[in-house]
C-alpha cells in the first residue's frame, strides 16, 4: 500500500516511517510548512531545522521526500480563528483545529492527489474497526496519548489514516530510533503551539492584538491593580498578576477567575480551589462524534476538559449541536474556548467546544469596580 507520511523532523514521525517500511508499505514522506517565518520569528521558529531533519530521515530510510507549504491554509483555517477567539476573551486550542483542518484535510487531500492510498502521522493514538465503524483509541502510552487533540476527526479521516506508533511507549520509540541510527533519535520533543515556539506568548499575541490595559478586580468589585489586556489571561492563571500583599487579605496566591471583555475588566480571587473557579456543569457546542452520531441523547462516560487531566466521570446530555456535561465531582477552571473530550474506556467518543459553566463567576452580577477604601 502506498502511504504518505506526515514527517515533521521529530523522532515520532521518524519511527512511524520505520514501522511502515517494516510492515511492507510503499512509503513517502511529506513535510508540512504551516507557518511563514519572518523577522519576528528569528531564533524562535524551528521549521528550517525540522525540515533538514526530515530530509535526513527520508535519506537514511531511502524514501522519497516532499515539501509543501500550507501556510495560507493554516492562516485561513486555524490562525484567524485563534485570533478571533482571543479577541472574544476565550482560550482556543489551535492544535485541535490544526489536526482537523490541515493534517487530516489539506494534507490528506494532497496526499491522495499524489497517489497515496492512506496517510500516516507520528501521533500517539490507535485506530480499529468495531461493529462496522472506525474507532479512535487511546495510545498504549497513556502519558503521551494524543486522542484529546484528535477528537474532531470522523469516519472518513480514520478510514484513510494509520498511526504506526500508537502501540509503543516513548522509551521504545527512542530505542528503535537509536537502533536504526536515525538522526532524530535524541532530538528534544517540541512543546507549545507550533507558530509560537519558544517565544513569550504575551509578546507574540500583542503583535496581532494590541494591548488594552484595564482594571483588575476581586469578584466583589474591589480594584487591585491593572491588567495588560484580558486576552492575555486564562482561567486559573496564577503567574503574571503582580499582586502584592494586601491588608485584610490572606497570604494565599491570587488566580484569574473571570473576565468581562466588554468592560475590559479582569477578575481575580485568592486560593487555587476558590468557589469562583469550581463548577459541576459545562455547556458546549459544535460537537463532533467519532462514530458520526452520539451514543445517545443521554449517557454516562468520562471526560477531559484539558489535555493532561485525568478522566472525570460525568453524565452527558445531547440536544442537537448543544452538549451539557454534568460531572460527579467539582471541576476546576473549566475554560470557554477549550475542548471537552468524551471517552468510553479506551475509545474516544468525540468532543465539543466549551461555552459556559455553572461556576460562581458565571452567575455573578455585574459589579462596578471600586477602589480599595471607597464605599
Encode pLDDT of 146-183 as tens digits: 999 999 999 999 999 999 999 999 999 999 999 999 99
Q: Quick check: 318 pLDDT over 60?
A: yes
- What pLDDT, on a 0 to 100 scale, did the predictor assign at position 361? 76
Q: SS3 for 72?
A: helix
- Note whether 127 and 35 are same-domain residues: yes
Asked if residue 337 and residue 268 are part of one domain, the reply reads: no
Residue with cell 486550542: 93
pLDDT in tens, 216-267: 999 999 999 999 999 999 999 998 898 866 666 677 899 999 999 989 999 9
Domain assignment of residue 201, yes or no: no
* CATH number for position 251: 2.30.30.280
- pLDDT over threshold 50, residue 369: no
Query: In this structure, are 263 and 342 located in the same domain?
Result: no
Q: What are phi and psi of 282, to 5 degrees?
A: -130, 135
Query: Do 238 and 134 share a domain, yes or no?
Result: no
Low-confidence winner among 42-51, 215-224, 336-345 (lowest mean pLDDT): 42-51
Dihedral of CA atoms 229, 287, 163, 158 in degrees, nearest 10, equals: -140
Q: Is 181 exposed, middle or buried (0-12, 13-18, 19+ CB in 10 A)?
A: exposed
Whether residues 155 and 25 fall in one domain:
yes
Provide the sign of the torsion angle of the four alpha carbons 251, 253, 259, 263, taken in this order: positive
Average pLDDT over residues 294-321: 97
Domain stops at, among 122, 157, 179: 179
**Least-confidence region, from 8-22, 188-202, 330-344:** 188-202
Q: Kindly tell me if the per-residue pLDDT of 284 is higher than 50.
A: yes
For residue 285, pLDDT beyond 80: yes
Q: Is residue 194 domain-resident? A: no
Per-residue model confidence (pLDDT) at position 364: 46
Cell digits of residue 11? 523522532
Q: Are residues 175 and 292 in the same domain?
A: no
Active site residue 217: no
Q: What is the mean pLDDT of residues 122-142?
A: 97
Q: Which of the following is catalytic: 45, 194, 279, 348?
A: 194
Instruction: Pick the closest to residue 178 from 342, 18, 362 (CA basis).
Output: 18
CA separation, residue 205 to residues 55, 86, 159, 192, 199 (Å):
32, 9, 37, 14, 10
Q: And the C-alpha cell for 205?
A: 499575541
Higher pLDDT, 40 or 89: 89
Cα(126)–Cα(164) distance, rounded to whole angstroms? Answer: 8
- Residue 301 sits in which domain range? 278-358
The residue from 45, 58, 98, 314 that is catalytic is 98
Question: What average pLDDT does the structure give for the chain?
Answer: 91
- The CA distance from 337 to 233, in Å, is 13
Q: Which residues contact 103 (CB under 8 A, 6 or more apart)?
A: 6, 32, 121
Q: 369 φ, ψ to 5°? A: -55, 135
Are 367 and 361 a contacting pair, CB within 8 Å?
Answer: no
What is the count of structural domains for the chain? 3
pLDDT, tens only, 347-363: 999 999 999 999 987 65
Q: Is residue 98 among the annotated active site residues?
A: yes
Question: Is the per-residue pLDDT at 312 higher than 60?
Answer: yes
Cα–Cα nearest to 97, from 140, 34, 156: 34
At 120, give phi and psi (nearest 5°): -145, 155
Q: What percent of the chain has pLDDT over 90?
A: 81
Predicted pLDDT of residue 45: 57
65 pLDDT more than 90? yes
Contact between 309 and 332 under an 8 Å Cβ cutoff? The reply is: no
Q: What is the pLDDT of residue 362?
A: 63
CA distance 328 to 331: 9
Amino acid at each position: 500500500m502506498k502511504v504518505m507520511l506526515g514527517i515533521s523532523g521529530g523522532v515520532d514521525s521518524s519511527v512511524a516511517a520505520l514501522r511502515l517500511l517494516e510492515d511492507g508499505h510503499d512509503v513517502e514522506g511529506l513535510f508540512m510548512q504551516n507557518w511563514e517565518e519572518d523577522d519576528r520569528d528569528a531564533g524562535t521558529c524551528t521549521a528550517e531545522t525540522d525540515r533538514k531533519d526530515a530530509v535526513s530521515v527520508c535519506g537514511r530510510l531511502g524514501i522519497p521526500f516532499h515539501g509543501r507549504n500550507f501556510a495560507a491554509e493554516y492562516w485561513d483555517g486555524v490562525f484567524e480563528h485563534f485570533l478571533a477567539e482571543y479577541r472574544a476573551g476565550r482560550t482556543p486550542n489551535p492544535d485541535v483545529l490544526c489536526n482537523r483542518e490541515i493534517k487530516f484535510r489539506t494534507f490528506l487531500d494532497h496526499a491522495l492527489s499524489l497517489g497515496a492510498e492512506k496517510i500516516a502521522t507520528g501521533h500517539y493514538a490507535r485506530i480499529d474497526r468495531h461493529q462496522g465503524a472506525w474507532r479512535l483509541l487511546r495510545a498504549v502510552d497513556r502519558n503521551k496519548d494524543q486522542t484529546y487533540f484528535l477528537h474532531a476527526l470522523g469516519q472518513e479521516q480514520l478510514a484513510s489514516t494509520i498511526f504506526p506508533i500508537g502501540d509503543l511507549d516513548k522509551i521504545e520509540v527512542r530505542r528503535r530510533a537509536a537502533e536504526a541510527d536515525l538522526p532524530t533519535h535524541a532530538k528534544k520533543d517540541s512543546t507549545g503551539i507550533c507558530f509560537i515556539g519558544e517565544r513569550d506568548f504575551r509578546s507574540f499575541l500583542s503583535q496581532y492584538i494590541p494591548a488594552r490595559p484595564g482594571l483588575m478586580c476581586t469578584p466583589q468589585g474591589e480594584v487591585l491593580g491593572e491588567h495588560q489586556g484580558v486576552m492575555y489571561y486564562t482561567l486559573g492563571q496564577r503567574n503574571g498578576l503582580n499582586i502584592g500583599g494586601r491588608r485584610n487579605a490572606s497570604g494565599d496566591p491570587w488566580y484569574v477567575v473571570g473576565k468581562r471583555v466588554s468592560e475590559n475588566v479582569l477578575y481575580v480571587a485568592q486560593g487555587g480551589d476558590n468557589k469562583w473557579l469550581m463548577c459541576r456543569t459545562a455547556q458546549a457546542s459544535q460537537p463532533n462524534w467519532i462514530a458520526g452520531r452520539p451514543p445517545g441523547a443521554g449517557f454516562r462516560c468520562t471526560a477531559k476538559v484539558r489535555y493532561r487531566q485525568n478522566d472525570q466521570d460525568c453524565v452527558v446530555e445531547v440536544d442537537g449541536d448543544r452538549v451539557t456535561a454534568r460531572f460527579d465531582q467539582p471541576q476546576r477552571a473549566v475554560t470557554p474556548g477549550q475542548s471537552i473530550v468524551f471517552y468510553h474506556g479506551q475509545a474516544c467518543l468525540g468532543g465539543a467546544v466549551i461555552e459556559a459553566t455553572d461556576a460562581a463567576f458565571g452567575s455573578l452580577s455585574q459589579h462596578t469596580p471600586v477602589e480599595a477604601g471607597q464605599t
